[in-house]
Amino acid sequence: MALRSAIPTPSHLELRKERYPSGSRKPNPSIHPSHTALTIELFDIRADERILRGSCCGRALVGRFTLDANSELKVTLNPAPQGSVAEINLEATNTSGSLILHWGALRPDRGEWLLPSRKPDGTTVYKNRALRTPFIKSGDNSTLKIEIDDPAVQAIEFLIFDEARNNWSVLFGLPILPCFLECRRYQITTLYFGQEEYEAARTELIEELNKGVSLEKLRAKLTKTPEATDSNAPASESTVTTKVPEELVQVQAYIRWEKAGKPNYAPEKQLVEFEEARKELQSELDKGTSVEQLRNKILKGNIETKVSKQLKDKKYFSVERIQRKKRDIVQLLKKHKPTVMEAQAETPKQPTVLDLFTKSLQEQDNCEVLSRKLFKFGDKEILEKPKFTWQQTIWSHLYFTGRCQKRMESGRQCGPVLMGCFVTVKAPPSSILPSGSSLLDKACETSFSEYELNGLHCQDTGDAGKGTAKALLERIADLEEDAQRSLMHRFNIAADLVDQARDNGLLGIIGIFVWIRFMATRQLIWNKNYNVKPREISKAQDRFTDDLENMYRTYPQYQEILRMIMSAVGRGGEGDVGQRIRDEILVIQRNNDCKGGMMEEWHQKLHNNTSPDDVVICQALLDYIKSDFDIGVYWDTLKKDGITKERLLSYDRPIHSEPNFRSEQKDGLLRDLGNYMRSLKMEGTLIQSLRMAVHSGADLESAIATCMGYKSEGEGFMVGVQINPVKGLPSGFPKLLEFVLDHVEDKSAEPLLEGLLEARAELHPLLLGSPERMKDLIFLDIALDSTFRTAVERSYEELNNVEPEKIMYFISLVLENLALSTDDNEDILYCLKGWNQALEMAKQKNNQWALYAKAFLDRTRLALASKGEQYYNLMQPSAEYLGSLLNIDQWAVNIFTEEIIRGGSAATLSALLNRIDPVLRNVAQLGSWQVISPVEVSGYIVVVDELLAVQNKSYDKPTILVAKSVKGEEEIPDGVVGVITPDMPDVLSHVSVRARNCKVLFATCFDPNTLSELQGHDGKVFSFKPTSADITYREIPESELQSGSLNAEAGQAVPSVSLVKKKFLGKYAISAEEFSEEMVGAKSRNVAYLKGKVPSWVGVPTSVAIPFGTFEKVLSDEINKEVAQTIQMLKGKLAQDDFSALGEIRKTVLNLTAPTQLIKELKEKMLGSGMPWPGDEGDQRWEQAWMAIKKVWASKWNERAYFSTRKVKLDHDYLSMAVLVQEIVNADYAFVIHTTNPSSGDSSEIYAEVVKGLGETLVGAYPGRAMSFVCKKNDLDSPKVLGFPSKPIGLFIKRSIIFRSDSNGEDLEGYAGAGLYDSVPMDEEDEVILDYTTDPLITDQGFQKSILSSIARAGHAIEELYGSPQDVEGAVKEGKLFVVQTRPQMGKAREDYYQVLGVTVNSTPQEIKEAYRKLQKRHHILILLATRVMHDYTLLLNEAYKVLMRN
């Protein structure tokens, strides 16, 4: 009997009619001597497919098998002659009457059991996989006869099952355990057994292992024999076989697992690994290796400790995990927002003409003139300020001015002048040319633009460098030639510039970063034939990083950018440390007898100047040696980091040769070069390369060693170097870092990620303080961050087929890592809290978990987009300007910010969000579209970046815009019939309402593949057909579009509307009782109408108003004469389509002075209505109120409103602006209700959106989505949440007054003018980053239902009051509802009612009544039929008549 696996598997009985071929096993002599041709062999099924084979040359085969201590099984085979039936008889002695044969037949052409059609009585089919036949009880024995009539069947396989005891019987003393899942060649699969038996057997074996039973003991227990040997082997061979000690098997299995990357093994795979480890060691012993030699070979380092820990914990092949401390996420909060500080101007020393000019220029531009040069040009002078250089090209910012005082006094201007740029190599890059320049062959030509500055007529060639620390960047450009001499020079220059950078604020720090980044990405020269010692580079680097460390301590608002600089620079070191980099290469050559050749050339190169290339060269040598001296591996490593043969030859001391080592040098070189590599990284004397954190503080091992203390290793390396541990580290921190290093290469990244985050979280409080050796801690944190990102990227494959909860957990880990690297991280932390809560909801099977997670996915994307935009706005201008000065390749400049973002955690997080987005949408049944305005359209696809950029454009053919950005406040351009966007404006935002009013398709597409496909069809004609939740689209020929059959209603512009000019009726302020159509707009009148008519539980704020005509009256007052003249002049510019005048008019309106009578009347009305008067708190408070009023008036000229009125040909001069004055409801929540669902047009359903704080975030262009819900009017107690909020910002305010716009253009039939103009609070709102995880509206189901139901009830009550669909705005304060305004709901409202009755907007009440009665009479018979369709139609007729007659 041969046992070949860790635990036995089910035995099979095979009875075959065959003779032994030549060379097969001889018959087993242990069988009964009367059957000399019969051999029975038992093999472990995983070692051999055969289990029990009977082969006979006689009439019958007999086998006897022990079932237990008192019974046996006898098997007899009567072979079948040609065409007859084979008969198999089984008899079990001394058994119960409940035995069952679990069996099947084998054919050579099938791998699975065949179920013969001929079977004994009582046979049942088990799960279509096996047959189960009961034995027949006969006295103390049980018998069974099987007949096989299929000649293709060559064998049967069976198991014995005792049904009464629910146990599988034992054959040859082996338990029958169906517990393996591998292919049939190695074991029986669950094809033949039920999952219950499989799991029970597996559990039994795993429990034994977990109790600490060794595999050898388990084998002996199961077989009830000592370790078996082949019985056919000579006795001498059996006795001399050396047994592998079990503890070595455990160690070898652990080594195999560690080499595989510590994957997560299933229990079955664990057992396989133990057996493979045993085989490997047994093979070594069979070759003559002694057990002691084997022990010495594999027991190295702390391997025994690691294995013993697993044995102690009874967790085999499982990665240990650290226990993360429970800490409040908010402890990681940092609120250092980036602020831009303008540079200060210098005071000129002498008041010359050009000094005065320079001073005026500085004051105008609020900038510093760093240097200037004068050039004679006849009787004039050219002022150059300052100088830009790239290579040998000179480019100047030039001012051309008259020289003599007489010319300044006379006001004579210089004539047209052309300036040629002086070049010796090539023309300047086109990206920096001033407007109007002409690019020539090796120069460019630029006209001076004329202007007057403080009486001095001058001409200018441009103002490049806006949004940067311009003077600093120009200083860097001036010094770059010196910086290229060596890294020592560059680092010293950088240290000299730190003070100037700090004085320039954030833009100065960014300027240094951009310069260092260009160097790190090899866009700048590192060394220009200058011999410098490594210790000098190290000292310069140390000086620079010390300055950065000091700034890090003092200016926390700059820490994020300072980290970026330090990650690109490295740590630095002083004294003899740098010199050892050069000295140690000599030790390597001497110890390993490798002087001369490539090693000597490399030594000479190191002696002359060390560079980041040396780390790559060292790594290439290590890879070459490890590959058994494969020279191709050497070159592959070099090429991965951009080092070619040409680059090696370009060094001042070139490397010509390839490495050529001998096999006996291998171990010594691996040891010494490995230590040398560590030395390079430890000393940090070079810049971090683009692709590797080499020779820098970003290397994890060296960063940890520096903080924990350095211990010398090797022979002679780093002798005398003593680096002490950093003091004050948290308890347990060294073990935590040891855990990180032990698992840094693990295939399963999750435990490593947890360890890295725990280490960073422990460091976080130290980095917020001012500890000793702050620099070393910063570099350690940078290294932990870098390792984290690498580990996440390595785990992408692992996340391919996992449950959503796993991806959500990874997202939470990456968010935490991002928060630890970000200065202003409040929004990111609240996103993290949301994901953690969503994960808990998913684990608890909450049916809204996916909808909730989707909201935080959207919010997280907004946070990433905001961060990316911030980086771009801050960094890209400096990259472009400095890039132009240093002549950096344009492609490198273009992608500068993009590469910064791609290299951080934000890019990793974005990839994970993209993975889970479709999963969440599927679970939440959201689809790939949100259709905001469902209109079937066709048109030409036009791709644009922003809807805002084209809102005032007119398209001359039907156009469907695919806009990457839609904020919510834009206008729909003329000619546009559809807008598709990935952005998520609120359903009730201005642009959404405008789209529905104008019958324009408007939809959000969440699928990036679909969006990319549509963008690829730019210029083609497509047809879109929407439903409430999806859109189908197809390409169509132009002829179909031109036929006019499509777009019958889409994109129809609202017809021209007219206004009646309002007059000032003698009152500057009126109370709510005086509101009338002549005095105020519909907004004010509706609020007054609601007072006393809505249910008592709905509050309406007290209101007064500044009526129509007041603005014009104030403007005409003598005290505002100059303002009036300026506005009249600007209106003239506007009439000439100079739209820049809009902003100028708004600014001018703010200069109005309030007449005394206005102040008096407004005060009387406000106090008389019970409202507080701002002036009682001081003149400053009144000025705040007056400024808010003027801003409301000025909003008449905002771009969106102006272009909207132009679109409908509304006379803008006739538009009048009243101001509704209300005391602000300091809202906990704000809401907007549409009493008819605007997306579906369902009048039986209320749709509403709710935000936390004031409603401006809902009606304004604030990013993110509001909480949305619907509620059936016949079941107002059952609101259904459609989406959770993703808006990151909430607005809150103390007790204050709000001044609301109320124009006569907001309530026109067929034209939605609401929302176009501004409502301005007297006090500025506080922006608060929202934490939805503590918001009861989100987390408390009872509170949520109560508030949403109350909002729906209020909307329904107001609709009943007006008799038509309403657009209602309101607020919730401490559970009480307030309605601040209502208006008729546009879209599917009044204009459709006109269509229902077949009348026009100008129809009289009598005409409406006649049309209604005519339709009733026409459909009288059908109405009497009382069909469902006609019932609905009757209701619609009645509703239309009721609404229109009321109005």
pLDDT tens digits, 282-296: 888 888 788 888 888
Contact yes or no for 66/171 (Cβ under 8 A): yes
Rg (CA), the chain: 42
Segment 593-609 mean pLDDT: 82
pLDDT > 80? residue 554 = yes
Question: Which residues, including other chains, have CB under 8 Å from residue 243's CB and lie 6 or more apart?
Answer: 227
Contact yes or no for 1202/1212 (Cβ under 8 A): yes
State the number of CA atoms in the 13 A half-sphere of 584 facing the CB: 27
β-pairing, 174-175 vs 136-138, is unpaired
Most confident of the following: 26-40, 738-752, 983-997: 738-752
Segment 131-143 mean pLDDT: 87
pLDDT > 70? residue 234 = no
Segment 103-132 mean pLDDT: 82
What is the rounded CA–CA span in Å between residue 1071 and residue 1088? Answer: 10
Please give the pLDDT value at position 1228. Answer: 94
pLDDT > 50? residue 40 = no
Question: How far, rounded to the nearest angstrom, does the alpha carbon of residue 281 sit from its chain's CA centroid?
Answer: 47
Beta bridge partners of 144: 90
Q: Which two tokens stand for residue 1281?
A: 């949440």
DSSP H or E run through 914: helix 905-923
Counting residues of the chain whose pLDDT is more than 90, the rounded percentage is 32
Q: Which two tokens stand for residue 311?
A: 């044995």
pLDDT > 70? residue 1185 = yes
Contact yes or no for 969/989 (Cβ under 8 A): yes
What is the rounded CA–CA span in Å between residue 64 and residue 627? Answer: 57
What is the rounded CA–CA span in Å between residue 178 and residue 194? Answer: 9
Question: How far, rounded to the nearest angstrom, does the alpha carbon of residue 334 sit from its chain's CA centroid?
Answer: 20
- Three-state helix/strand/coil letters over 1231-1279: EEEECCCCCCCCCCEEEEEEEECCCHHHHCCCCCCCEEEEEECCCCCCC
pLDDT > 60? residue 297 = yes
Lowest mean pLDDT among 90-104, 888-902, 1117-1131: 90-104
State the number of CA atoms in the 13 A half-sphere of 408 facing the CB: 16
Instruction: Grade residue 319 by pLDDT with cuts at 50, 70 and 90.
Output: low
Choice between 1141 and 304, residue whose per-residue pLDDT is larger: 1141
The H-assigned helical ranges of 593-662 are 597-608, 613-626, 631-640, 645-650
Block residue for tokens 């963008």: 1015
Please give the pLDDT value at position 578. Answer: 45
Contact yes or no for 1257/1273 (Cβ under 8 A): no
Please write the tens of the pLDDT for every residue from 490-500.
Answer: 999 999 999 99
What is the rounded CA–CA span in Å between residue 510 and residue 497? Answer: 12
pLDDT > 80? residue 207 = no
Cβ-in-10-Å burial (0-12, 13-18, 19+) of 394 comes to middle
Please write the tens of the pLDDT for every residue from 862-882.
Answer: 899 889 889 999 999 999 999
Segment 689-707 mean pLDDT: 58
Q: Which two tokens stand for residue 258?
A: 């560690």
Give the mean pLDDT of the chain.
Answer: 77
Block residue for tokens 């299995």: 253
Helix (H, G, I), strand (E, B) or coil at 585: helix
Examine the residue annotation and report whether 990 is marked as an active-site residue of this protein.
Answer: yes
Counting residues of the chain whose pLDDT is more than 70, the rounded percentage is 71
Residue type, 130: A
Q: Which two tokens stand for residue 1333?
A: 């995880």
pLDDT > 50? residue 84 = yes
pTM: 0.68
Choice between 595 and 236, residue whose per-residue pLDDT is larger: 595
DSSP string over 501-514: HHHTTHHHHHHHHH
Please give the pLDDT value at position 130. Answer: 85
Please give the pLDDT value at position 171. Answer: 36
Please write the tens of the pLDDT for every residue from 472-519.
Answer: 999 999 999 999 888 889 999 999 999 999 999 999 999 999 999 998
pLDDT > 90? residue 465 = no
β-pairing, 444-447 vs 373-377, is unpaired
Give all strands of the β-sheet with 155-162 in edge-to-edge order: 124-126, 130-134, 99-106, 155-162, 167-168
Q: Phi/psi zone of residue 517: left (φ > 0), alpha (ψ -120 to 50 degrees), beta?
A: alpha
Q: Which of 345, 423, 416 is nearest to 385 (CA)?
A: 345
- Active-site residue, selected from the candidate residues 990, 1234, 1420, 1431: 990
Contact yes or no for 740/752 (Cβ under 8 A): yes
Please give the pLDDT value at position 478. Answer: 93
Q: How wide is the angle at C-alpha 1112 spanned by C-alphas 1111 and 1117, nearest 5°?
A: 100
Choice between 1421 and 637, residue whose per-residue pLDDT is larger: 637
Measured N-to-C along each axis, helices 1405-1418 and 1390-1397 cross at an angle, to the nearest 10 degrees, of 60
* Torsion of the alpha carbons at 497, 500, 505 and 507, rounded to the nearest 10: -50
Q: Running DSSP on this structure, what letter comes out for residue 1370?
A: E
Segment 5-27 mean pLDDT: 32
Contact yes or no for 886/477 (Cβ under 8 A): yes
Q: Which of 1158, 1060, 1037, 1043 is nearest to 1104 (CA)?
A: 1158
Question: How far, rounded to the nearest angstrom, does the alpha carbon of residue 187 sit from its chain's CA centroid?
Answer: 45
Q: What are phi and psi of 770, to 5 degrees?
A: -140, 65
| Neighbour count for residue 666 (Cβ, 10 Å) | 15
Please write the tens of the pLDDT for every residue from 1296-1328.
Answer: 899 999 988 776 655 556 668 888 999 988 999
Length of the chain: 1447
Please give the pLDDT value at position 366. Answer: 55
Please give the pLDDT value at position 1412. Answer: 80
Distance in Å from the first CA to the final CA of the chain: 101
Give all strands of the β-sheet with 444-447 in edge-to-edge order: 418-420, 444-447, 438-439
What is the rounded CA–CA span in Å between residue 1084 and residue 1301? Answer: 9
Choice between 719 and 781, residue whose per-residue pLDDT is larger: 781
What is the rounded CA–CA span in Å between residue 373 and residue 398? Answer: 9
